[in-house]
Amino acid sequence: MTRLPAQITEQVSQAFSVIERYLASTLQAIHLFGSAIEGGLKPHSDIDLLVTVHTPPDETVRRALLSELLTVSAPPGSNGTWRPLEVTVVAYHEVVPWRYPARRELQFGEWLRQDLLSGIFEPAVPDADLAILLTMARQRSIALAGPTADALFQPVPGQDFSKALSDTLTLWNSPPDWAGDERNVVLALARIWYSAATGRIAPKDVAAAWVLERSPTGYKPLLHSARQAYLGHNEDNLAAYADQTTAFILFAKSMIVDLLDAPQA
C-alpha cells in the first residue's frame, strides 16, 4: 500500500479537516495524487487533492471553503515546511457516468490567492483537464476517505484523454501566455508530449528526460535546465532565454499536434 509521505502528513491532515468541516454532509471521497506519490515530491511540487461530493456545495459553502484553504496552503517559494495545495472538487454525478468535458464544482490553487483575498470566486465550470486529473487519480492515488479512485471512477476513454491534451495546448499561443512561468510550461509540454505518444502520464522530470532523448540538439540545453530547476539542482533561469523558450514551446506544440492527429492503431 502506498504511504502518505511523512513530510506532508501534518499539512494534509489540516487540509482534510478544513474540507471535512465544510463538506462533511456530502463528502464521498478524498484522494491524494500527483507528485506526492507518483515519482516523489520535488522542491516545487504541489499537494494535489481530488474531493468528490454527492451534492455540489452552495455558494456560501464554496466561498468559505476556498477562503479557509488559504490558511493551510503556502505560496510557492515561501521557504517554509508547507507546500502549495491544489484542491479540485467534483460532484459524483457530474463525472459518473463519464462525459466530456465534465464539470468541476470548485478549484483551489495558489495562483488564485490574490483573487480569493479580493473576493473573486470562480463559479463551477466545465473543465477539460478533469479527463487528465481523473486518469492520474485512477493510475495512482491514496484514498484519504472513501473508496479507491479506480473503484469510484470510470476509465476516461482514450479519445477524451487525447482531446483534453489537445485542449490544454490552446493555453499557450504567444510569449505573454508563458511569461514568468516558463519552466512550468516547458515541463507541462514535455508531459503532454509523453502522454500523446504513450497514452500514459509520467512525472515531469521523467517526461522531460523522455523528451530530451527525442528533441533536436538545439533544444536539449533548455530542457535540461528546466528539468534540473524542477529537481532543485539549479536556479530557474528560463526567462533569460526568451527566444529559445518560445522556439521550443512552438516546436513541442507542433510535435504534439502531429501525434494527436495521427490515425489511431
Q: Which class for 260: exposed (0-12), middle (13-18), buried (19 or more C-beta within 10 A)? A: middle
Which amino acid is located at 245 in the chain?
T
122 given a catalytic annotation:
no
165 φ/ψ angles, rounded to the nearest 5 degrees:
-60, -45
- Report, in angstroms and rounded to the nearest whole number, the Rg of the chain calculated over CA atoms: 18
Distinct helix (H) and strand (E) counts, the chain: 11, 7
Q: Note whether 144 and 30 are within 8 A (CB).
A: yes
- Distance of alpha carbon 180 from alpha carbon 175, whole angstroms: 10
Is there a cis peptide before residue 101, judged by omega within 30 degrees of 0? yes
- Distance of alpha carbon 94 from alpha carbon 103, whole angstroms: 6
From 38, 86, 94, 182, the catalytic residue: 86
DSSP state of 202: -
Active site residue ranges: 86
